[in-house]
Structure 1
Amino acid sequence: MKLCVLATGDSVYRYYKSIVIPFEQPRKVSSTAIVNGGYREDLTAVFNNDCNPGAGMECTMRAPTYQEHMRIITEEIGLDPATTAGMGTAASMENVAIHTECYQNLTVTAIVTGGIEVNGGRVGDPADYFKPIAKSTLEKPGTINIILVIDADLPPGILNRAMVTCTEAKTAALQELMAGSNYSTGLATGSGTDQTIVVANPASPLYLESAGKHSKLGELIGRTVLPAVKEALGKQTGLSPRQQHSMLRRFKRYGILEENLWQAYAGNTGKAVIKPKFLDVLHQIDSDNYLVTYAALYVHLLDELQWELLSGIEVRQAANELLTAAATKYGVEAPVIIGTCIDSCLKAWQSVLLTIIREKCREL
């Protein structure tokens, strides 16, 4: 299936669980691809492949090494393994997002698939993978894969600079969605397996030597990649402003989870407790406008404390005011934070939340 024709004259196809771009002419390509990655001028095609065999099934390699696995995939989709760079992901190619922006005779297109629910993380998070040899299975699914096509000629260094700007745009999209890391209390900056391919057109009469944020090229990269990443994440896993309008999702990275709340509630309730009733009330208030607003402000206070932008005393004072506002809204008594650490703040929020749920359960 042909999805579109790029300004470079190359067509974008979707078939065999892949997004494929065969080149009509020589292109300059810079990529993070395991096979034929880095800077190349001899490639004949690039692709993005969905390695997911099916719902609930593990993504496994078709060969002893990832490089051999990708070569097999390349041949199966009818491309030359010697002159093709490809990326793998567990995201569906049906959920691809394609955004194009133009300025005068410059056209930039971002082709994105992605998901970060499983392995979204923040740069610098604790990691345990350190193997200089091939892995027996593919990385965890959830990669944000980007093919960025620029209809202009760029020198190699600027092609790499375009990849940096592209990466900044991806991270900006995740920041705007307040997507949390699965490995720390921080906000995600990407997934652990993100990949990018940047393509430039040496046949274009337009020659550019800047791809940073001060250049029009940099602006167009941001204006294509940022919305494309958001759209792809929304299609793949539902990650969107609407989904993020949730008290639980805002607190997830700080460990306030549905099951943890239930365990704390059940452990402090003297009479018989019905879990379905508890969860029903929790889900009812989870998206309440006031509670989500207070939660968003409260979590940001914890971030500011971690980043050392606010002191513990400042955070405690503001957090106590938010607790009072939330408690007053629901007609319950607010706990008072005594300490100046994150743990003290989290215990206080959990306390007021459980009190609200307890009162709601009594009303039913």
Structure 2
Amino acid sequence: MRFTHFINPFKEPMLALSNAPHNGGLSRANGFFFMMVPKNYSGDYREDCQKFEWENGIKNFVGFMTAAEIGEVLAISRSGSVTAYVTAGVTNPAIAGEVPPPWKPGTINIVLVIEEGLTVGAMANAIMTATEAKTYTLLRLGYNATGTTSDGIGVFAFEGDKEWAGTATELGINIGRTVRKALEESLRKWEKSRNKKAFTSSP
């Protein structure tokens, strides 16, 4: 699969909660995108993401950035009402609470699209559950890390009355399943791509 960016429009606007560089925080969104940037990127992310929207004819999207080749690492998984979209690159693994090693480009982006009506509190709960699933997956696969130094996460849902999305709930179980499956697949793709590049560049 060869493409540089990934744009996912919604059929109708959804409530968004994220730490995305473009339209992050709490908002209403018409969709989201993963935007690929160079590994040595040092540009104005606000300006570049806004320009990305203009160039692609989209508006009020939540935007994530990554130096990983999106067409090679994107993984999508669905369970129940939850769909997870993940791009992974782990050249800068880190452990929460410890001083990270010198920065290198590498990001795990996780987006959850939940086709249910949630409160904002439940969306925050969904972020917690997804983060637990991310960390478990990394440790299980042998990465001595809880994430990277630049991870992104976003939850999109309809506004509603469901208050909980923790690991004891059906919604939380579906979140955990989708994140674990999509992240593992994306990490396998990333490792395969990295090994292939190392092989082709060796003398």
The TM-score, its normalising length taken from structure 2, stands at: 0.86
Contact kept in structure 2, 1:18 and 1:49, CA below 8 Å:
yes
Where does 1:294-333 land on structure 2 (aligned, <5 Å)?
Answer: none
- 1:1-57 Cα offsets, whole Å, 9 max, x none, are 9xxxxxxxxxxxx95x1111112212111111122111112x2221111113xxxxx
Percent of paired sites with the same residue: 36
Write out per-residue CA displacement over residues 127-169 of structure 1, whole angstroms, 9 at most, x where no aligned residue: 489xxxxxxxxx7321011111111010111111101111111
Q: Tell me which amino acid in the other structure corresponds to 2:36.
A: D
The aligned runs of 1:120-199 (5 Å cut-off) are: 120-127=93-100, 140-179=104-143, 187-199=144-156
* In structure 2, C-alpha distance between the alignment counterparts of 1:217 and 1:198, rounded to whole Å: 13
Paired residue for 2:18? 31
Residue of structure 2 aligned with 1:91, choices 68, 73, 77? 68
Aligned residue number for residue 198 of structure 2 = none
Greater helix share, structure number: 1
Q: Which has the larger strand fraction?
A: 2
Equivalent residues of 2:94, 2:100 under 8 A apart: no
Q: How far apart are the structure 2 equivalents of 1:210 and 1:98? A: 23
The answer to whether structure 1 residue 19 and structure 2 residue 6 are counterparts is yes
1:217 aligns with 2:163: no
User: What residue is the counterpart of 1:55 in the other structure?
Assistant: none
**Ranges of 4+ aligned residues in structure 1 off by more than 4 Å:** none
1:265 match: none
CA contact (8 A) 1:28 1:39 kept: yes
Residue 235 of structure 1 pairs with residue 189 of structure 2: yes
Matches of 2:188 and 2:152 in 1, distance apart?
19
- Equivalent of 1:72 in 44, 51, 56: 51
Match of 1:111 in 2: 85
Mean alpha-carbon deviation: is it higher for 25-34 or for 139-148?
Answer: 139-148
Structure showing greater relative contact order (alpha-carbon pairs closer than 8 Å, 6 or more residues apart): 2
How far did 1:212 drift? 0.6
Q: Considering only aligned residues, what root-mean-square deviation do their CA atoms show, in Å?
A: 2.3
Q: Does the Cα contact within 8 Å between 1:99 and 1:109 map onto a contact in 2? A: yes
* 1:119 CA drift (Å): 0.2
1:273-293 CA-partner distances (Å, limit 9, x unpaired): xxxxxxxxxxxxxxxxxxxxx
- What's the CA shift string for 1:173-228, capped at 9, x where partnerless? 0011120xxxxxxx2000111101111024xxx84211011111110000100111
What secondary structure is seen at the aligned counterpart in 1 of 2:116? Answer: coil
**Shift of residue 59, structure 1, vs aligned partner:** 3.0
- The residue type paired with residue 157 of structure 2 is A
Instruction: Supply the AA of the counterpart residue of 2:62.
Output: A
CA deviation after TM superposition for structure 1 residue 73, in Å: 2.4
Is the CA contact (8 Å cut-off) linking 1:152 and 1:207 kept in structure 2? no
Q: Following the alignment from structure 1 to structure 2, what is the Cα–Cα distance between the partners of residues 177 and 149?
A: 25
Unaligned runs of 5+ in 1: 2-13, 53-57, 130-138, 180-186, 244-364
8 Å CA contact 2:74, 2:87 repeated in 1? yes
